[in-house]
């Protein structure tokens, strides 16, 4: 690379018609998303050797130096420089939001003993080899377990933007590798986390200069079943009742095996698909078998919420379960479900349970899809368009 270069970049076009340029040849090169135009002596021999795509430098003496020839076409990627600038602005604004509120940013491991126990998620596994030692490790589906360990160790307001990995699905909204934003508030509950979400979306919309949600609405699962299905849903609603409701609503549930399956098939087709995309919508109080890692309320509902905007589920929040006995029971139930479904075997993280036994404070926590919120804010339709090198 010459020290006295006037410009350097990739050739966009070459015009050797000197008559059109007052006796000069014209060459345009792309740099930082802008095309720079140079007029050169048409007698320069190198001009006859150059083609669009070559990388060149033009010196102060208006000589041309070939930096790298274009021997192949560049791979096509959907993430253009302008989009990259918006993405960087977005991620910086997310970090700024939590830093301004005195949250501490943590970095949890990317190789873990337990990737998470969610039965429906497929995982990535590998093996640690040190001499004769062999240990199965995984890429995390979420940083949740380690962030909760941090809460038990004394952290109070924490967040992480973590790479997460889920196998088996590539769609407009799913990639095997993606970013998850998780944050937790110790000695707190879901009301504060809900306020965080509303303020975060509003602030990001302002920073990105895009329209914020039209309004904020909250519904319980029971209310939504009443509105959209004319059905009185309760914590005790059974498989036969959901099966009868599916038949009445003409929802195909032939693939359903568990009560979770019946619930999801009805919810996705008759409720989720009809949530107003212009509103930021909180869906609260899930049935107990959907409690996952959340506490139960005094009236038997899972104390958690999911967030929807622009037709997408953006986040999943829990009033975190901190009873080690109940947590172990639910985790083992998840592993049993995985085994029944023929999923890859995983193992519980015993250090996590030691932390729960030592005492984890009551906490509110949430996991939010970083790419999905960017899509909702900017109108990007496919998650692959938020990535420089997506999987296809």
pLDDT (0 to 100) of residue 55: 96
Phi, psi for 384 (deg, rounded to 5): -65, -25
Among 68, 89, 123, the domain boundary falls at: 68
Strand partners, 158: 104, 184
The number of CA neighbours under 13 Å toward the Cβ of 194 is: 18
Confidence of residue 17 (pLDDT cuts 50, 70, 90): confident
Q: What is the largest CA-CA distance in the chain?
A: 86
The pTM of this model reads 0.90
Length of the chain in residues, anyone? Answer: 392
Percent of the chain predicted with pLDDT > 70 = 98
88, part of any domain? yes
Pairing of strands 5-15, 302-309: unpaired
Chain center to CA of 83: 17
pLDDT (0 to 100) of residue 21: 72
What's the pLDDT tens digit per position in 102-150? 999 999 999 999 999 999 899 999 999 999 999 999 999 999 999 999 9
* 145, 119 Cβ separation under 8 angstroms: no
The whole-angstrom separation of Cα 50 and Cα 15 is 11
Say if residue 313 is in the same domain as residue 176: yes
At residue 302, does pLDDT exceed 70? yes
* 189, 361 Cβ separation under 8 angstroms: no
Q: Which domain holds residue 24?
A: 5-68
Residue 183 tokens, joined: 């944050």
Confidence of residue 158 (pLDDT cuts 50, 70, 90): very high
Indicate the average pLDDT of the chain. Answer: 94
257, part of any domain? no
Say which CATH number the domain at 34 has: 2.40.50.360
Q: What is the DSSP letter of 188?
A: -
Confidence of residue 78 (pLDDT cuts 50, 70, 90): low
* 256, 262 Cβ separation under 8 angstroms: yes
* DSSP for 143-210, written as a single string: SHHHHHHHHHTT--EEEEEEEEE-BS--SSS--SEEEEEEEEEET--HHHHHHHHHHHHHHHHHHHT-
Among 14, 43, 68, the domain boundary falls at: 68
Say which CATH number the domain at 307 has: 3.30.930.10
What's the pLDDT tens digit per position in 22-42? 788 899 998 877 899 998 988
The whole-angstrom separation of Cα 116 and Cα 131 is 28
What's the pLDDT tens digit per position in 82-106? 788 899 999 999 999 999 999 999 9
pLDDT (0 to 100) of residue 79: 63
Taking residues 320-341, report their average pLDDT.
93
124, part of any domain? yes
pLDDT (0 to 100) of residue 350: 96
In the three-class reduction of DSSP (H, G, I as helix; E, B as strand; rest coil), residue 298 is classed as coil
Say if residue 193 is in the same domain as residue 333: yes
């Amino acid at each position: 690379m010459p020290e006295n270069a006037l410009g350097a970049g990739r050739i966009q076009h070459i015009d050797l018609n000197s008559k059109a340029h007052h006796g000069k040849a014209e060459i345009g090169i792309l740099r930082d998303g802008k095309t720079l135009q140079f007029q050169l002596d048409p007698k320069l021999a190198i001009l006859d050797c150059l083609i669009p795509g070559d990388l060149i430098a033009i010196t102060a003496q208006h000589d041309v130096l070939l930096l790298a020839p274009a021997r192949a076409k560049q791979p096509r990627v959907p993430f253009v420089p302008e989009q990259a600038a918006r993405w960087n602005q977005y991620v910086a604004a997310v970090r700024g939001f939590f830093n301004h509120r005195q949250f501490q940013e943590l970095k949890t491991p990317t190789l873990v003993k337990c990737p998470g126990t969610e039965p429906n998620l497929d995982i990535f596994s590998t093996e640690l080899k040190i001499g004769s030692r062999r240990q199965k490790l995984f890429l995390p589906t979420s940083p949740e377990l380690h962030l909760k360990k941090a809460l038990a160790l004394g952290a109070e307001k924490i967040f992480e933007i973590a790479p997460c990995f889920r196998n088996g699905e590539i769609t407009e909204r799913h990639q095997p590798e993606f970013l998850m934003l998780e944050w937790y508030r110790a000695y707190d509950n879901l009301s504060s986390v809900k306020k965080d979400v509303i303020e975060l979306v509003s602030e990001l919309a302002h920073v990105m200069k895009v329209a914020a949600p039209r309004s904020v609405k909250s519904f319980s699962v029971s209310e939504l079943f009443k509105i959209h299905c004319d059905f009185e849903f309760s914590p005790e609603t059974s498989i036969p009742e959901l099966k009868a409701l599916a038949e009445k609503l003409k929802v195909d549930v032939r693939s359903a095996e568990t009560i979770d399956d019946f619930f999801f098939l009805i919810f996705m087709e008759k409720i989720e698909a009809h949530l107003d995309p212009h509103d930021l919508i909180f869906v609260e109080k899930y049935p107990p078998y959907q409690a996952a890692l959340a506490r139960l309320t005094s009236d038997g509902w899972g104390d958690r919420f999911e967030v929807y905007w622009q037709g997408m589920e953006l986040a999943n929040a829990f009033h975190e379960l901190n009873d080690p006995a109940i947590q172990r029971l639910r985790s083992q139930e998840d592993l049993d479900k995985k085994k029944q479904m023929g999923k890859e075997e995983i193992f519980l993280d015993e250090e996590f349970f030691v932390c729960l036994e030592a005492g984890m404070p009551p906490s509110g926590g949430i996991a939010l899809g970083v790419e999905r919120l960017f899509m909702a804010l900017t109108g990007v339709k496919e998650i692959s368009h938020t990535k420089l090198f997506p999987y296809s």
